[in-house]
Structure formats: C-alpha cells, structure tokens
Amino acid sequence: MEPFVVHKGKVAGLDRANVDTDQIIPKQFLKRIERTGFGRFLFYDWRYLPDGTPNPHFELNRPENEGATILVANENFGCGSSREHAPWALADYGFRAVIAPSFADIFYNNCLKNSLLPIKLPKEDVAYLLKQAERSDYELTISLEQQVIFDDEGFTSSFDIDPYRKQLLLKGWDEIDLTFVYEPYIIAYEKARS
C-alpha cells in the first residue's frame, strides 16, 4: 500500500447523506477477484444514464471535479452492506481521503485497511468544505502525522484517528506487512518448536 503522510489535492463535494455501499459500488460489479479496476464502476448508477452515457448532473462528472483526490460528503457515508469493494472503488478512482461528519463503522475500518483515509469533521466544517468544493481550484492539505487538515485560505481543522491505524497508514502497511516486522521472532519460534 502507498504510505499516507501528507497529501495535498483537489476536493470534490458529494452533498448527500446516507450514501450506502451499494451506491458506491453496485452489486453487479462485485464479481472481480482482484482489488483493482473498480474505479470505473464507482457511483455507477449516479454517474451514468440508462443509455451508458455520463450523467452531466452527477457531482463527479462535472468538469470542476476532474482529478479530485479528496471527497467530501455528508453524514453516515458508507452505510449499508459491509463490502470492502467500496473503499477499493474509491481508491481505484483516485481518492486518497474521504471527509464526512460520520461514517458507517465497517466502511470506516475497511477504508483504514485499504490506505484510504476517512476523516470525521464537525458538520459546520463539512458544510464549509462542501461550499468551497463547488470551485474548480479548491485544494486541501491533509497531514496525517499532525492529524490536521487545512487550505490556503485560513481553514484548519484537526481530526482523530486510532494510533495503531495511523502508524500503519504512515508506513503504507496492512496487517500482513506488519507480520513481516516480526518474521525473525516467528522463525525463531518455529525453529524452537520443531
């Protein structure tokens, strides 16, 4: 996984509450066996019209949101089923972080396990960011190390994150990578037991 230390990126707003995982990645696209390739199906039912053409009214299809790497949404983002494909699709699309007032618990944890940083901010901060995201040039900087998010116009907000998950993200590790840190101890244990 790619480490997450400091990220500066363009912001896209999705001013919707209760966005469930079936909207993030519809069930018909869950048949893939690898973790990649889901980005093109992200928000499929909202991004495309019935004839398969892009929906010009959907937020991510607007020209000002092209290339966005930070998504701002409203409360209870990622509710619904526990599919891990949802953070895979967001990351594959190009997002490094999702900001919302609240997240569904399983989705939140799945993000952290897949190098996608979910950030919980107060509703008034999210409302400010959603308004700013209407501009095509709006960017945010996220410092995971300092647990702060800021823009070039004076906005600053801090966020909480579990220290264990923070360290894994900073190093770009998942739990399997972490076991390799203990490989010498595992080998010694196995030799002693054989």
pLDDT at 3: 92
pLDDT at 179: 80
Q: In tens digits, what is the pLDDT along the chain, a chain of 194 residues?
A: 889 999 999 999 999 999 999 999 999 998 887 888 999 999 999 999 999 999 999 999 999 999 999 999 999 999 998 889 999 999 999 999 999 999 999 999 999 999 999 999 999 999 999 999 999 899 999 999 999 999 999 999 999 999 999 999 999 988 787 788 788 888 889 889 87
Go through the domains of the chain in sequence order and give each one's CATH number.
Answer: 6-193 (3.20.19.10)
pLDDT at 53: 96
CA proximity to 12, closest of 61, 51, 85, 54: 61
Measured in degrees and rounded to the nearest 5, phi and psi for residue 179 equal -65, -30
Q: What is the SS3 assignment for the chain?
A: CCCCCEEEEEEEEECCCCCEHHHHCCHHHCCCCCCCCCHHHCCHHHHECCCCCECCCCHHHCHHHCCCCEEEECCCECECCCCCHHHHHHHHHCCCEEEECCECHHHHHHHHCCCCEEEECCHHHHHHHHHHCCCCCCEEEEECCCCEEECCCCCEEECCCCHHHHHHHHHCCCHHHHHHHCHHHHHHHHHHHC
**How many C-beta atoms surround the C-beta of residue 107 within 10 A?**
27
Question: In this structure, what token pair is assigned to residue 14?
Answer: 């999705």
This prediction's pTM: 0.91
Residue 13, Cβ density class (10 Å: 0-12 exposed, 13-18 middle, ≥19 buried) = buried
